[in-house]
Copies of this chain bind each other. A is one copy, B any other.
């Protein structure tokens, strides 16, 4: 049995601080230092890892710097920030590890106090958003998708020889083939979709169907670049992705049930590359066609 464990922290810097371009690095530093199984996961480079550390939020806005070479992110001492740490695990004991992150930490970015705000534990079988035919996906942090997500499984062995390129528009096939593989990687075999024997073909097929079953009703999107760190030679590593929102109409009530679960997971673990450090975070809600869509 797998649980989704999500913990919200208030993070307060003791003095004025300059944050890294991707502010989740502050939280990741603390998680890595504390170690344990969560620290191990955070440091791991495994694909589809069952963990996401969100950026620091200031009043609902994620603190991420989009302008390469622009002014750095800075926050006044004493300002309360928020962050979320989400993990899917079959071990209830992780709850203690997450709550015990409370404390005061000296980081390369300054001194911070971490307090647990709230803790949510959900059986993955109960995950769902209750979506109806029209729903809206807000990509609240930059989302990075690559066309490799829709490589037919028979060509998997040649995947490494293909260039790693990012697609800058949210194509349903890329989103849902990714999410089904994520789901089936993080849950116990008995909770896989559609069943225990699910392979990469199920993800590929769901992707293919999604480009037919989902149509955009409206959207506002823009491409963004984000500094995600430095490589071994000290050069900036920049990821290209997109931000914004899309309202979809789902033409298949059968697939809607699958999307409902996958998107519920995505609101905790994110979508696409660098989820572990808070990229690809989404909010999803049923869209009332009578409300204005321009917000």
Q: Which residues of A contact B (CB under 8 A)?
A: 147, 150-151, 162-163, 165-171, 173, 211-212, 215-223, 246, 249, 251
Nearest 10 A/B pairs, CB to CB: A168-B216, A165-B215, A147-B212, A169-B169, A218-B223, A167-B215, A169-B216, A171-B171, A163-B251, A219-B223
Closest CB in chain B relative to A242 CB, distance in Å: 9
State the CA gap A169–B222 with chains docked (Å). Answer: 12
Smallest distance from the beta carbon of A156 to chain B beta carbons, Å? 14
Residues of B within 8 A of A222 (CB): 220
Q: A220-B222, A221-B221, A222-B220 are in contact. Are A215 and B166 (CB under 8 A)?
A: yes
Please, which residues of chain B bring their CB within 8 A of the CB of A163?
251
A-B contact pairs, 10 of them (CB 8 A): A147-B211, A151-B212, A165-B249, A165-B251, A167-B216, A168-B215, A168-B219, A169-B219, A171-B171, A173-B211
Query: With A163-B251, A251-B163 in contact, is A168–B218 under 8 Å at CB?
Result: yes
Least Cβ distance of A114 to chain B in Å? 38
CA–CA, A173 and B167, complex, Å:
13
- Complex CA–CA separation, A173 to B150 (angstroms): 13
Q: Which residue of B lies closest to A150 (CB)?
A: B211
Q: How far is the CA of A227 from the CA of B220 in the complex (A)?
A: 21
Tell me the bound Cα distance from A249 to B223 in angstroms. 14
A67 CB to closest chain B CB (Å) equals 13
In angstroms, how far is the closest chain B Cβ from the Cβ of A213? 8
A269 to B41, CA, bound (A): 54
> How far does the alpha carbon of A223 sit from the alpha carbon of B244 in the complex, in Å?
13
A128 to chain B, nearest CB (A): 25
A216 to B147, CA, bound (A): 11
Query: Which of A151, A162, A166, A211 has the largest number of chain B CB atoms within 10 A?
Result: A211
- Kindly provide the distance from the CB of A246 to the nearest chain B CB, expressed in whole angstroms: 8
Complex Cα gap A151–B209 (Å):
10
If the complex has contacts A169-B169, A169-B171, A171-B171, are A223 and B212 also in contact, measured as CB distance less than 8 A?
Answer: no
Chain B contacts of A151 at CB under 8 A?
212
